[in-house]
Amino acid sequence: MANGLRLHDTLSGTVRDFTPVGMDVKLYVCGVTPYDTAHLGHAFTYVAFDTLIRHLGSLGYRVRYVQNITDVDDPLFEKARQLGISYRVLAVRETARYMEDMRTLNVLPADLYPQASDEIPEMLCIAEGLIDDGHAYPVDGRVYFRVASDPEYGELSKLDRPTMLALARERGGDPEDPRKEDPLDFLLWRPSGADEFHAESPWGEGLPGWHLECSAMALKYLGSPIDIHGGGSDLIFPHHESEIAQSEASNHVRPFVRTWMHTGMVYMDGEKMSKSLGNMVFVRDLIRSSGTDAVRIYVSSGHYRSELHWSEEAFQAAAGRASMLREILTLKSSGGAPLTTADFRVRFGERMNDDLDTPGALSVLTDLAGAIQDASRNGYDVGPAQDLLRELGGVLGLTFEPARTALTLHGNRTR
């Protein structure tokens, strides 16, 4: 199906025509580790993929969307220890908060939200198969993936070995582990701590490695190849690099993913916004103050692959833009000729087809709103144009609801 959509693929480093295998687009996006409230970085990523899904729908595609919940991970265990509660209690609580925040942000739900803790049999099956095929090896209750068995390892991130080692060390990879054949080898399974998740395995009681979790869930629920696999750019290495290696070695299908999409990072005061640093702007606070559309316009005002640097001034400008678009829809039509709008639809589609150029698409909406305002003053029938504004705004996930209405309809609560 010729659709005109072009998307950037991280693996090839190019913007390419998007050609899914069938009319059902298979999409996997790495979800949250549920140990704190959703912040603007989450909004940036999940609004971007929500917008992709909405645009694919406008092109006639159905999307099979899987987003995992990483309820077996070190940051969750560490946070639970700090709070003095069970990691299970924390995971359930924060997963519910995340889902609520996404609903309030008008993010369409995924078809499936598999939780890592429920998918252990699939992970064990993959790990055992990798050992049998020489891609992995067990040592002292641990199982490591043998990176040397994959000559393409590093192709996604395009990093040299010293940089990969540095990032692995920074992101929990422990290159100094003396059990490893190669410092870049990564864990598929490890023994559990006393207060951590634990499951039986051929190598003893333990828990899966982070990368293995996503491979197992993606392969189980979508199969291979996946049309689009996405997440934040901080997941390119080691997470997605390692996903490719173990998935292709296990499934014997290349490519594991046909298009890799990664969103830029969100920064505050020059530092990456993250739970670990505590420099966060919370989604629910922004929605409470200014409404859903203000947040969606703010994060969509930058391209999804670009960095977003938090600015109160820019956010207030987005809130003003949301208010202006909403007010345009309240203008009354006269009995004159209808405003011609075909050009706006074409321009909007061109911007969205160009690797989801949401800043350009928002500019088209602003131009359309200006044309509606002028036409209303000059006696034109602006009803059809207002309908088009609602339709195109809907592709960007806009609700055209004031802040208080959005909070009431979507059930937002204070932290």
The secondary structure of 240-263 as a DSSP string is IHHHHHHHHHHH--S-SEEEEEEE
d(CA 260, CA 156): 9
pLDDT in tens, 265-301: 999 988 888 776 777 899 999 999 999 999 999 999 9
pLDDT for position 22:
79
160 contacts: CB under 8 Å, gap ≥ 6: none
Cα dist from 310 to 8, 122, 268, 280, 306, whole Å: 24, 40, 5, 10, 13
Give, in degrees to the nearest 5, the angle at Cα 394 between 380 and 14.
115
- Above 70 in pLDDT, residue 405? no
Q: Please name the helix (run of DSSP H) or strand (run of DSSP E) that holds residue 16, with its range, or none.
A: strand 14-17
What pLDDT, on the 0 to 100 scale, is given for residue 414?
Answer: 32
Q: List, in order of start, the domains of the chain with CATH numbers.
A: 6-268 (3.40.50.620), 312-400 (1.20.120.640)
Is residue 190 a contact partner of residue 207, using CB atoms and an 8 Å limit?
A: yes
DSSP annotation of 336 = S
Question: 3-class SS at 160?
Answer: coil
Q: Are 145 and 135 in contact (CB under 8 A)?
A: yes
Q: Determine what percent of the chain is predicted with pLDDT higher than 70.
A: 96
329-367 pLDDT tens trace: 999 887 789 999 999 999 999 999 999 999 999 999 999
**pLDDT tens digit string along 166-212?**
999 998 889 999 999 999 999 999 999 999 999 999 999 999 999 99
DSSP bridge partners of 16: 7
Residue 2, pLDDT > 70, answer: no
Percent of the chain with pLDDT over 90: 87
Q: What confidence tens digit (pLDDT) does each residue in 33-75 have?
A: 999 888 999 999 999 999 999 999 999 999 999 999 999 999 9
